[in-house]
Chains A and B, each alone.
Chain A
Amino acid sequence: MLIELKDICYTYKPGTPYETSAIQDISFNVEEGEFIGIIGHTGCGKSTLVQHLNGLLIPSKGEMQLDGIRYFTQQKPNKDLRKKVGMVFQYPEDQLFEETIFDDVAFAPKNFNLGDGLVEEQVRNALEDVGLSYEKYKDRSPFSISGGQMRKVAIAGVLAAQPKILVLDEPTAGLDPKGREEILSRIDLLREKRNITIILVSHSMDDIAAHADRVLVMNQGKIVIDDVPRKVFKEYKQLYDMGLDIPSVTKLMLKLKNKGFDVDTEIFTIEEAAQEILKIKGGASHV
């Protein structure tokens, strides 16, 4: 087991009139190499939850075991934990600050004390991993490129520290469909190449259905479903009640079914849907 969270609770501004209990009794496990999706309505505590994974927030109660070390109760979160768990925040381009893209991407590896020769290697790899040419971009200012490219540079800035676990909090918010798919497929690629464990927070059910092995559904600070996408999206009535959606292809299949076509509704990707539709079309033409 790579990560094991036990009964994590977190309260913002305890002891003030603005006290909010953001998450309560969160427990779940993550295996090495898994791709976990986290979904939930706005304000249900997703960002709060993931910030515990690298110790940015200290829970008011609970314990986390990560890579064999027990944090919060035995060991205080330290740089070692931050290096192991890379965190890409919502709108990560807001964290760029250096004069050149090279320096910005090198910020994390330098802070984590990688050797100088290694730093250049890491920056080159990280930039190529997000699909930016090292030679072309390294000397440019991070403020002189487009928003989508800034996003990639910011993600490279996290990858450069070579994390074992990569947490992404809505990495595709505000991007066009092509930009979204590019970032997600690059993440898939990274996972294959380096066997990184991925935890992705997203509002897009399509993205989650297409990429995650397992989905955690959160509602009002609690995990209410923890299962494979197939099983999760089968509970579409429960999801609708929580203000969540289901993948658009699944919606299409449900509509077809309602119209009287005999299709499988447990379908989450466009390829599967195309197969299924061809099957009934083929069936119909035989009759």
Chain B
Amino acid sequence: MLELIFFNITNGLIVGAFYALMAIGLSLILNLSGVINFAHGGFLVIGGYLAYVLTPYIGFWGALIVSPFLTAIIGVAVEWLLIRRLYGRDPLYSLLLTFGLAFIIEDGTRQIWGANGLPVSVPPALMSALSSRFFFITGYRMFMVATVAIVVVLLFVLLRHTRVGVRIRAGTLDLETVAALGINVRALRSFNFAVGIFLAGLAGVLAGGQLGLEPTMGDGLLMPSFIAIIVGGVGSLTGTLVGGLLIGVAAGLTAVVFPSASDAVMYVIMAIVLLVRPRGLFGEEGMLT
């Protein structure tokens, strides 16, 4: 029983780390550009399939770095060509656009690589279990959580201690004043978009190594990521991080006692949080505070 609970907590943390990674990227884009990026799961898919293509040439480690960067570049191209034109309009426009993009990416992936699952090969060193009792804690799972943790810490350092990061946080509340202070807010938004998409691409590589690739692999992550943002409080990245981990672990634990409710529990948590703190756990305080 103890193993079972522990297994599900571990699982929940890993799933939660993915929710958090996706949700933080979504949150960055939503906060600065006011765009609800429904194509976020699509960029995860692109990141994963790029890793599949690149691994034979540059290995898993190379792909782990290069794929998210390429995904971010593709993301910026999409932002420049399409999404940018809808800034400042009713959010419905960008929502429809990204919704359409999500379908295009999914079908495009299916066209190129087929509907069947494909593997991302992971170095054998990462695949072994750490102990026989806790067989489910493979090196790869530890590695995934550690990677997410490192990337999140780096992101927070960027936002707190670099000029561009501070400008992003300033722009979250008052982009007009940031512009009036001489900052190229178009470039700032593009950079911020790239960071968000980088995180999605990274999630795609990591997920591909664990579960393999499918054109629809991003679908299941999008709704929990939105819930993570709402639970944490729109505007707070710390909240988004906590929200992602929280619903991941809650879903994992629920799977022990009542497996069929493990998805529903996310919505229950969201409802409770919204009743008690309508702005989410870390709302009101503003981003990163």
Please say whether chains A and B are actual partners in one complex.
no
On B, residues with C-beta under 8 Å from A are none
